[in-house]
Homo-oligomer: A and B are copies of this chain.
């Protein structure tokens, strides 16, 4: 029946880490992703997205979770199917179709990744400068994942997956600013987030800084009780 081809999953894992880039001496947050170095042909020595083969009995999202855990040890706070890439000559070794996922991880988990000779974090916007050309068509895949995150953050509540369970609005705004690459007006950001109903105030504050303490908020999952009008699943466990 089916053709003789190999089905893989790859994941664009994104985390917000302090900008290690040149000229960013400050606390600037920057999108980073973990890459793994290939240790065999094709593209031996080049950096690539974490991934692996799909086994017969697991769902695609489970394969994504498993392979990214195996290669990086990470467990994402958010996982979403991005796109399926299957051009005939993506891989020089034969036909490979890759179902690509996007994952978001929080900074503490990201920091726990054991970086080594064959695993490293790289700033998502400056991949060629830092790690050279990626293997396969992975550079294109990363570009698409970034485009989608940047557009989606405008209408869906996903930025919180970069943060802890409770967070201040300034922290949430920092995430948006880092993702979009521009600064946002604190007052207007506060209003639009409040109006969206995506967060609810807790009765706690974050004190300790040299200014008025900030209230802590928590993400509120689906607006209504149904899917909120967005993807039919994505709020259900997963689908496949």
Residues in chain A within 8 A of chain B (CB atoms): 1-8, 53-60, 81, 83-88, 90, 95-97, 99, 140, 143-144, 147, 231-233, 239-240
Asked whether, in the complex, the Cβ of A7 is within 8 Å of the Cβ of B59, the reply is no
Asked whether, in the complex, the Cβ of B96 is within 8 Å of the Cβ of A2, the reply is yes
Asked whether, in the complex, the Cβ of A54 is within 8 Å of the Cβ of B3, the reply is yes
Distance in angstroms between the alpha carbons of A8 and B231 in the assembled complex: 23
Minimal Cβ-Cβ distance residue in B for A86: B60
Asked whether, in the complex, the Cβ of A57 is within 8 Å of the Cβ of B2, the reply is no
Most B CB contacts (10 A, CB to CB) among A4, A6, A86, A87 go to: A86
Distance in angstroms between the alpha carbons of A85 and B240 in the assembled complex: 4
A-B contact pairs, 28 of them (CB 8 A): A1-B6, A1-B53, A2-B5, A2-B6, A2-B7, A2-B54, A3-B6, A3-B53, A3-B56, A4-B56, A5-B56, A7-B97, A54-B97, A57-B88, A60-B84, A60-B86, A60-B97, A81-B84, A84-B84, A84-B240, A86-B99, A86-B240, A97-B99, A140-B232, A143-B232, A144-B231, A147-B231, A147-B232
